Amino acid sequence: MMSDILEVENLSVVSHKKGTRSQRIIQGINLNIEKGKITGIVGESGSGKSMTMKAIMNLLEGKLESRFDRFTFEGQIINKREIIKRRLPIAMIFQDPMTSLNPLRTIGYHLMEVIRRYHKVSNMEAKKLAIEELNKVGIDQAQNRMGQYPHELSGGMRQRIMVAMAMLCKPKILIADEPTTALDVTIQAQILSLIRKRQREEGLTVLLVTHDFGVVAQMCDNVIVMLDGKIVEQGTSEAIFYQPAHTYTQELLKAIPGNRVGNRLYSMQEFRLNERQKAEGKMILVAENHWKLEE
Ligand SMILES: Nc1ncnc2c1ncn2[C@@H]1O[C@H](COP(=O)(O)OP(=O)(O)O)[C@@H](O)[C@H]1O
Ligand SMILES: [Mg+2]
């Protein structure tokens, strides 16, 4: 579609482990990501959310290989070499900021590194930019924070630093993979509203990976539901919440604590076993911009 910033056709991720048969982890999915919107990627742990995001970023490690038929960014066809060179303006933040921060380096060092790579400015301007960015992500005493080390900051503040570092890459797409899972509830809400604020200010496209439908309801314009390496349903948040079309989405919604639609706790395990037997489903159109995997 015209309004899509990113389109990937028939994306698979294959694992080649020595001594075992190659295994398809992501099973030929199509991604259509609407520009300037927040798209939620939901699904249980292990459904392939992170793998899909890493495939987009070309961050797959070791024995994992991604394949696709067609990859377009802002309507332009991108070949695999260009993705490998990481020329695309896509930035990512992860669940645990500590894995992306060097404990031996100051906050200022981290920010200046990113600025050096993405902005052509003098040292003094770079420092000013870093401090401005710290203010934008809601970090107080920005000047002092520049000299502090990651362990001197709280988890929430470290995640704010990650948002700052991501934004300094001047991304058009921000991928946030469970950015608040490791944080407590009040801090979670703060980080989410920060992401929302930056998204609105900069007209960013956000891919927000979460296993929490509450977060989706609060944040997302569009939703992609994943199960066992496949997309089972895709639509606007409204469509997914009020007219879920695929049985799996319906059951996921029923399983939300406090949801009055149903109180039976569905066995996802049972569902997954049944679902797996239908190997090659097609996506079918349910309504305008609303797709589900054929059942
Ligand atoms: N390095 C790896 N090699 C092979 N399989 C992996 C690897 N990492 C994850 N997996 C498998 O891929 C599937 C999808 O994982 P992942 O994308 O991390 O799920 P999610 O983010 O939805 O929790 C899981 O079944 C997981 O066990
Ligand atoms: Mg994950």
Condensed to tens digits (0 to 9), the pLDDT of residues 191-213 reads 999 999 999 999 999 999 998 88
Query: Rounded distance, CA 42 to CA 215, Å?
Result: 10
Amino acid at 172: K
Examine the pLDDT at 263 and tell me if it is beyond 70.
no
- At residue 258, the pLDDT reads 53
> What are the tokens at 170?
């001047």
- For the chain, the distance separating the N- and C-terminal CA atoms, rounded to the nearest angstrom, is 25
CA distances from 52 to 124, 244, 256, 285 (A): 39, 22, 24, 22
134 C-alpha to center of ligand 2: Å?
A: 27
**pLDDT higher for 293 or 266?**
293
Probe target for ligand 1 pocket from 20, 51, 53, with the most ligand atoms within 8 Å of CB: 51
Query: Rounded distance, CA 236 to CA 40, Å?
Result: 10
- Judged by its nearest atom, the ligand closest to the C-alpha of residue 181 is 2
Examine the pLDDT at 95 and tell me if it is beyond 60.
yes
Examine the pLDDT at 279 and tell me if it is beyond 50.
no
**pLDDT higher for 122 or 82?**
122
- At residue 272, the pLDDT reads 56
Give the start-end residues of each E strand in the chain: 4-15, 23-34, 38-42, 64-67, 70-73, 76-77, 90-93, 173-177, 205-210, 222-227, 230-236, 283-287, 290-293
List of residues 6+ apart from 195 with CB closer than 8 A: 163, 174, 176, 179, 206, 208, 219
List of residues 6+ apart from 118 with CB closer than 8 A: 168, 169, 170
Choose among 32, 26, 81: nearest CA to 54.
Answer: 26
Domains recognised in the chain with CATH numbers: 4-89+171-293 (3.40.50.300), 99-170 (no CATH)
Q: Which atom of ligand 1 is nearest to the CA of 49?
A: 22
Judge contact between 13 and 66, C-beta under 8 A: yes
Which residue has its alpha carbon closest to ligand 1 atom 24? Answer: 46
Q: Kindly state if the Cβ of 13 falls inside 6 Å of ligand 1.
A: no
Rounding to the nearest 10 degrees, give the CA dihedral for residues 252, 258, 259, 263. Answer: 70
- At residue 86, the pLDDT reads 66
Judge contact between 160 and 138, C-beta under 8 A: yes
Q: Kindly state if the Cβ of 43 falls inside 6 Å of ligand 1.
A: yes
5 C-alpha to center of ligand 2: Å?
A: 23
Examine the pLDDT at 14 and tell me if it is beyond 50.
yes
**pLDDT higher for 100 or 139?**
139
Examine the pLDDT at 267 and tell me if it is beyond 50.
no
Place 178 in a pLDDT band, splitting at 50, 70 and 90. Answer: very high
Q: Helix (H, G, I), strand (E, B), or coil: what is residue 173?
A: strand
Of 41-50, 135-144, 264-273, the one with minimum mean pLDDT is 264-273
Rounding to the nearest 10 degrees, give the CA dihedral for residues 80, 86, 89, 91. Answer: 120
Q: Which atom of ligand 1 is nearest to the CA of 61?
A: 1
Q: Kindly state if the Cβ of 224 falls inside 6 Å of ligand 1.
A: no
Of 47-51, 158-162, 200-204, 258-262, the one with minimum mean pLDDT is 258-262
Judge contact between 167 and 197, C-beta under 8 A: no
Place 264 in a pLDDT band, splitting at 50, 70 and 90. Answer: very low
Mean pLDDT score of the chain: 89
| CA angle (11, 17, 22) in 5-degree steps | 50
2 C-alpha to center of ligand 1: Å?
A: 32
Average the pLDDT over 273-283 and give the result: 61
Judge contact between 279 and 228, C-beta under 8 A: no
- At residue 97, the pLDDT reads 78
pLDDT in tens, 214-249: 889 999 999 999 999 999 999 999 999 999 999 999
Choose among 237, 245, 244, 234: nearest CA to 217.
Answer: 237
Q: Kindly state if the Cβ of 64 falls inside 6 Å of ligand 1.
A: yes
- At residue 101, the pLDDT reads 93
